[in-house]
Chain A
Amino acid sequence: GQNIDQPTEMTATEGAIVQINCTYQTSGFNGLFWYQQHAGEAPTFLSYNVLDGLEEKGRFSSFLSRSKGYSYLLLKELQMKDSASYLCAVEDSNYQLIWGAGTKLIIKP
């Protein structure tokens, strides 16, 4: 079966760093996506990894290890507006996205 696991909820402090993990087992792998979703809104694209290693984009970075079936999203210098759900999704062998349930990130002052 296909499975994407991520923590249900995390709490962090404004200005700090937080790492959101994602592990996956899918039929094939063509890339891994991270999306941000604010409450009541649509998901929006954050990052894409297809090769092992770290991709950095401003305050956000995403890491991938294909051999371990593992990724993380790293958020630095947290701001209150970063309070949202973060969705991990894997593109499988059929080029469809398999989605995790999302991690709700709560930022405290």
Chain B
Amino acid sequence: IAGITQAPTSQILAAGRRMTLRCTQDMRHNAMYWYRQDLGLGLRLIHYSNTAGTTGKGEVPDGYSVSRANTDDFPLTLASAVPSQTSVYFCASSEAGLAGSNEQFFGPGTRLTVL
């Protein structure tokens, strides 16, 4: 049982390039999330999806897009990367999505550096 996997583990990217971070879960969770984590700041929600086929904007959505074509996959795309998007990106999932104890399970993270 893998839980949540993310790829790549780390990436160095030139500014202006397009990049997709992959996230797959095998727990059949309804909800999935993308966060970024920067030093001295809490986890900040970029985008979320409460169920397959729907997505929503979080606290810091600008410059990012997501899709949720099926239950398992939730890719995050940076259309044109900028240095301020240098961060550690975590994908997470939860069973509930809308109500109840919304315990979230996290992937191992992707460390992204934009030069």
Contact = CB atoms under 8 A, between A and B. Distances in A.
Contacts of B108: 41-42
A42 B90 CA distance: 8
Interface in B70-115: 90, 96-99, 101-109
Chain A, interface size category, equals: 20 to 34
Interface of A: 4, 8, 30-31, 33, 41-45, 48, 50, 87, 89, 91, 95-102
Given A4-B42, A31-B102, 11 more contacts: A44-B106, A45-B103, A45-B105, A48-B103, A87-B42, A95-B99, A96-B45, A97-B104, A99-B35, A99-B44, A101-B40
Interface of B: 35, 40-45, 48, 58, 90, 96-99, 101-109
